[in-house]
C-alpha cells in the first residue's frame, strides 16, 4: 500500500506510539508484506527467526518487536506488538468500509453491462464492454479492465486469509490491498479472489478461470493462463504467463510457477517449479512419473 503522500518516520512513530531509530524526517512511502516489499515500505516482523529476512529485505523501515542493530540506510520502529501496529497504520491510511457505506464513487466504462443484483463496493473502476452476471460481489478498490466476463456468484476482493493466534483466539491482519482484473479475462461461477493484504492480487490479461476457484491474497496470475475448476492457490504466489492448471490443483503460499508450465489434475505444489508438465501430490515431472509407473508395473 502506498500512502497518498510521503510520510515522515516520526509521524508514523507518533501514530502508533512507538520508539523510532533513524532520522525523524526519514521518508516513509507505504507498507507492504515481506513478499512484496519495495524501498520506502514499512514491513513488520515479530519473531527473531525472521529478523534478518525483514532487516535485509528491500523494505527500508522495519516495524519490529525488539531494538536491534539497524542496517545502514534503513530505520526502525520498535513496538511491543508489530502485528497490531501494522494494522493501525494500514487502517489509518486506508479506510475499511466492508459494504457498510455506499459512496457511489464507481467508474464504469462504455458498453459495460452489470446485472442489477450485483453488489459493488467503493472506489471501484470497471472498463469498457465488460459483462457482470447476477450476484457478483466486487469489493472496495477493485480494478476491472475492458472486455471482461465475470459470471454469477463470484466474489472479488474478499478479506485475505491471514491470522495470528492471540490469547487463544485468531486475530486478523486487516487487508487494505485490492484486486486487479486485466483486459479480456473470463471468470466462471462461484470463484473467490481475495484482495491483497497491502498490494494487489492480479489476474493477467487474457486469462480464463473455470468455476469454483480460490485465489489467495497478493497472488499474481500471468497472461493467458487457463485454470480449471476447484483449483486453490494460496497467497503470494506468482504464476507465469500461459500456465495451465487442471482441476483441483493446489499451490501452497509463496511459490512460483514458470511460464508455459502445465499442472495436471490434483497436482500439489510446495516449491517453485521450472517450466514443465507436472503431476502428483508433490508436483513430480510427468515423464519421470510415467517411467516410474512402467517400472512398477513390470515388477514381478
Whether 78 and 178 share a structural domain: no
Whether 46 and 157 share a structural domain: no
Kindly report the pTM of this predicted structure: 0.94
Q: Using the 3D structure, point to which of 94, 126, 156 is the last residue of a domain.
A: 94
Q: What is d(CA 230, CA 249) in angstroms, rounded to the nearest whole number?
A: 7
CATH at residue 183? 2.160.10.10
Whether 209 and 270 share a structural domain: yes
Domain that holds residue 49: 2-94
Q: Which residues of 117-152 are buried (b: 16+ CB within 10 A; e: fewer)?
A: ebebbbbbbbbeebebbebbbbbbbbbbbbbbebbb
Q: At what angle do helices 82-93 and 9-16 cross, to 10 degrees?
A: 110
Whether 42 and 161 share a structural domain: no
C-alpha cell at 82: 508489530
Contact 200, 181 (CB under 8 A): no
Task: Please give the tally of structural domains in the chain.
Answer: 2
- pLDDT (tens place) for every residue of the chain, 300 residues total: 999 999 999 999 999 999 999 999 999 999 999 988 999 999 999 999 999 999 999 999 999 999 999 999 999 999 999 999 999 999 999 989 888 887 778 999 999 999 999 999 999 999 999 999 999 999 999 999 999 999 999 999 999 999 999 999 999 999 999 999 999 999 999 999 999 999 999 999 999 999 999 999 999 999 999 999 999 999 999 999 999 999 999 999 999 999 999 999 999 999 999 999 999 999 999 999 998 888 888 886
Q: Given phi > 0 = left and psi -120 to 50 = alpha, else beta, which region is 215?
A: beta
Contact 57, 37 (CB under 8 A): yes
Contact 181, 203 (CB under 8 A): yes
For the chain, the C-alpha Rg in angstroms (whole number) is 21
Query: Is there a domain that residue 298 lies in?
Result: no
Query: Is there a domain that residue 184 lies in?
Result: yes
Q: How far apart are the first and last CA of the chain?
A: 61
CATH at residue 62? 3.40.1390.10
Catalytic residues: 217
Smallest Cα–Cα separation from 26: which of 77, 66, 90, 89? 77
C-alpha cell at 247: 482441476
Contact 253, 216 (CB under 8 A): yes
Query: Is there a domain that residue 214 lies in?
Result: yes
Amino acid at each position: 500500500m502506498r500512502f497518498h503522500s510521503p510520510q515522515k518516520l516520526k509521524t508514523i512513530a507518533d501514530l502508533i506510539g512507538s520508539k523510532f531509530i533513524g532520522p525523524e524526517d526519514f521518508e516513509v512511502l507505504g507498507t507492504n508484506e515481506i513478499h512484496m516489499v519495495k524501498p520506502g515500505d514499512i514491513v513488520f516482523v515479530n519473531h527473531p527467526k525472521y529478523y534478518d529476512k525483514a532487516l535485509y529485505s528491500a523494505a527500508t523501515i522495519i516495524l519490529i518487536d525488539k531494538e536491534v542493530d539497524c542496517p545502514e540506510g534503513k530505520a526502525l520502529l520498535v513496538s511491543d506488538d508489530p502485528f497490531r501496529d501494522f494494522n493501525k497504520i494500514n487502517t489509518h491510511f486506508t479506510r475499511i468500509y466492508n459494504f457498510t457505506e455506499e459512496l457511489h464513487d464507481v467508474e464504469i466504462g462504455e458498453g459495460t453491462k452489470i446485472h442489477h443484483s450485483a453488489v459493488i463496493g467503493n472506489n471501484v473502476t470497471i472498463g469498457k464492454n465488460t459483462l457482470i452476471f447476477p450476484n457478483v460481489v466486487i469489493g472496495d478498490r477493485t480494478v476491472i479492465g475492458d472486455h471482461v466476463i465475470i459470471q454469477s456468484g463470484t466474489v472479488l476482493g474478499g478479506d485475505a486469509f491471514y491470522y495470528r493466534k492471540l490469547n487463544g483466539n485468531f486475530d486478523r491482519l486487516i487487508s487494505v490491498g485490492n484486486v486487479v482484473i486485466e483486459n479480456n479475462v473470463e471468470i466462471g461461477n462461484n470463484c473467490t479472489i481475495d484482495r491483497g493484504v497491502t498490494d494487489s492480487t492480479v489476474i493477467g490479461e487474457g486469462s480464463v478461470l473455470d468455476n469454483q476457484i480460490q485465489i489467495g491474497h497478493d497472488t499474481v496470475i500471468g497472461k493467458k493462463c487457463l485454470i480449471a475448476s476447484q483449483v486453490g492457490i494460496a497467497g503470494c504466489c506468482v504464476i507465469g504467463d500461459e500456465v495451465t492448471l487442471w482441476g483441483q490443483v493446489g499451490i501452497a503460499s509463496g511459490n512460483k510457477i514458470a511460464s508455459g508450465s502445465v499442472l495436471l489434475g490434483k497436482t500439489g505444489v510446495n516449491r517453485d517449479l521450472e517450466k514443465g508438465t507436472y503431476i502428483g501430490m508433490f508436483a513430480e515431472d510427468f515423464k519421470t512419473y510415467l517411467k516410474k509407473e512402467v517400472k512398477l508395473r513390470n515388477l514381478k
